[in-house]
Amino acid sequence: MASPTFLSCGWEWYVLVDPKENEDDLRLYLCVHNSKSLITGWRTRASYRFFLLNQSGKVLYRAAAWGNRTLPLSKLKEEGHLENNKLIIKVEVKAGEERYVTGTEMFEIEGFEVPSSQVFSVSQLFMKHPDIANDFKLNGKGLKTAYMNIVLSLIETLCRPPLSFSESELSNIDSELSELTEAGFKLDWLKTKLEEVSLERKKAIADDLGVQELEERVKNMELSLSDLRVELESEKAQYAAAASKMLSFSDII
């Protein structure tokens, strides 16, 4: 399915369709086109509605918002609503007046209040993992905000190079993940990332020990100098790559 852009109140919008093919659950997201080029701090409020139509123009489904809601395409097929296996997506957008965000405003995303500085990260998080908070058990805006801050903090922390972590720090992260899971967050993907970081750290430490061993062998002249230098430089390069490896927020989620 294509994702064409369209204009509304001076903004250029597009509909993100997920999945694009070969999956049953349909999710729709309304996005601002080329959002990174917009001036930092500016925003607009928008009300919108999605419509799903068949080729004859009959409305099959409508929703005031979509978010982490899913619609099984197989259900539409079974009920005989799809003509030639095609579906038309229509969206109505009413955008409000633009204004500057000072940084102190709070926004609600999927039931969580977050500051303007976290809107993009939290939106990315729910887009990539729409079921992350389906089973979240705790109420209270302040409490939910605090828990979301912990999730974001852990993601940012795991962006660091593996060698920057200590064993105790990795253990603390594992404990925090367990607490978040008990609260109802679905974080299997983040647990997997933690395990990857831990393994990469152990490998980097082993590479470092290999460098130290080779340096000792250089001193003892156990290998020919030329061959040993080549081997030593290769080990150093692997260690340096592991020590400086940085990930982005989107790499983690």
Average pLDDT over residues 30-45: 67
pLDDT at 75 (0 to 100):
76
Give the pLDDT band of residue 9 (cuts 50, 70, 90): very low
Residues 7 and 44: their CA atoms lie apart, in Å, by 14
Residue 129 has pLDDT above 60, yes or no: yes
Beta strands in 9-105 (DSSP E): 11-18, 25-32, 42-43, 46-53, 59-63, 71-72, 88-95, 99-100
Residues 108 and 57: their CA atoms lie apart, in Å, by 34
Burial of 137 (0-12, 13-18, 19+ CB in 10 A): exposed
Residues 137 and 185: their CA atoms lie apart, in Å, by 9
Specify the range with the lowest mean pLDDT, choosing from 5-9, 89-93, 205-209: 5-9
Give the pLDDT band of residue 195 (cuts 50, 70, 90): very high
List the Cα angle 8/11/14 in 5-degree steps: 80
Taking only the tens place, the pLDDT of each residue in 166-186 is 999 999 999 999 999 999 999
Residue 15 has pLDDT above 60, yes or no: yes
Residues 207 and 185: their CA atoms lie apart, in Å, by 36
Per the omega criterion (within 30 degrees of 0), is the bond before 19 cis?
A: yes
Residues 54 and 79: their CA atoms lie apart, in Å, by 12
Q: Cβ neighbours of residue 95 under 8 Å, at least 6 residues apart? A: 8, 9, 10, 11, 44, 45, 46
Both tokens of residue 178? 């367990």
pLDDT at 41 (0 to 100):
60
